[in-house]
Amino acid sequence: MAAIINGKEIAAKVKAEVAAEVAKLKEMGHNPGLAVVLVGDNPASRVYVNNKKKDCEEVGFASYEYALPAETTEAELLELIAKLNADAGVNGILVQLPLPKHICEQTILHAISSAKDVDAFHPENVGRIMIGDYSFLPCTPAGVIEMLDSIGCDINGKHCVVIGRSNIVGKPMGMLLLHRNGTVTICHSRTADLAEQTRQADILVAAVGKADFVTADMVKPGAVVIDVGMNRNAQGKLCGDVAYDEVEKVASAITPVPGGVGPMTRAILMRNTLTAAKEQLK
């Protein structure tokens, strides 16, 4: 039976560290804050935004929510971002994705000041991640690294297989593992014989978006399995990409869903906001 990597517990530690630093900034007369912009009424996005507000309250950040109607134009959204970029009371800006189809996500993400880009989606920050000189770590991949560290999993020299090559998870995940001296394979929907690749993984990260996608026969005995997926199963229950019940019998350690990578992503967002605030106060 695999050890369970408890994301909630590790996230609570990260948030407690952030809260202690935020308290110090407040003692010095600062009131750091995060602005979250939501366009439209996607129910999942609403849940994410509410969670981010809760996290801000927990660590002591001011949170500013901008809930805009679905008909908001790209020009109006750009105008709001310009205002937030110029607002010294706002240290981090996050635009909740996905945006309505008539708004170009790239245009919006590029408009956010790279110094306030706490999601690390701006090309400048993406480039920094590539060369290993980063101000903001991409939230989900950085959360995964924190989880591996928390169980004493040494990435150095390990074969790491990432399933998924998205800009927000798969690619930066591969890069962070590479910076920690992992030997990295990134798989995707065109990978020939995926199971052949995944069976070689000492560390397997699944970021596919398909329930029960990773089965026990795809996992090397003793591997560490990280499940980034957030899906709904046939019963409407939240689940990951990994067939948990069978894979936990093969893996040495595994993340659950819920209670795994999700809380870590949120905790790293708080840490990035703190980093942004400290940099801007220098």
One-letter amino acid for residue 39 of the chain: V
Exactly one of 10, 11, 94, 187 binds ligand NAP (CB under 6 A); that residue is: 187
Of 156, 206, 199, nearest to 177 by C-alpha is 156
Nearer to ligand NAP, 115 or 242 (CB): 242
Which of 189, 220, 216 lies closest to 203, judged by CA?
220
| Residue 26 annotated in active site | no
Nearest approach, Cβ of 121 to ligand NAP (angstroms)?
12
Choosing from 83, 188, 232, 249, the residue that interacts with ligand NAP (CB under 6 A) is: 188
Per-position DSSP letters for 156-176, written without gaps between them: TT-EEEEE---TTTHHHHHHH
Residues 80, 229, 255, 256: which binds ligand NAP (CB under 6 A)?
229
Mark whether 200 is an active-site residue.
Answer: no
Active-site annotation holds for 241: no
Q: Which is nearer to ligand NAP, 90 or 186 (CB)?
A: 186
According to DSSP, the residues that pair with 92 across neighbouring strands are: 34
Burial of residue 232 (CB within 10 Å: 0-12, 13-18, 19+) is: exposed
Which one of the listed residues 55, 117, 119, 227 is annotated catalytic? Answer: 119
Q: What is the C-alpha R_g of the chain?
A: 19
| Structure-token pair, residue 31 | 């009131």
Alpha-carbon distance 261 to 282, whole Å?
32
Separation between Cα atoms, residue 33 and residue 24, nearest integer Å: 14
Question: Binding pattern to ligand NAP, positions 134-163, x when CB under 6 A?
Answer: ------x----------------------x
Active-site annotation holder among 15, 52, 171, 220: 52
The verdict on 208 binding ligand NAP (CB under 6 A) reads yes
Binding site for ligand NAP (CB under 6 A): 140, 163-166, 168-170, 187-191, 194, 207-209, 228-231, 261-262, 265
Active site residues: 52, 96, 119
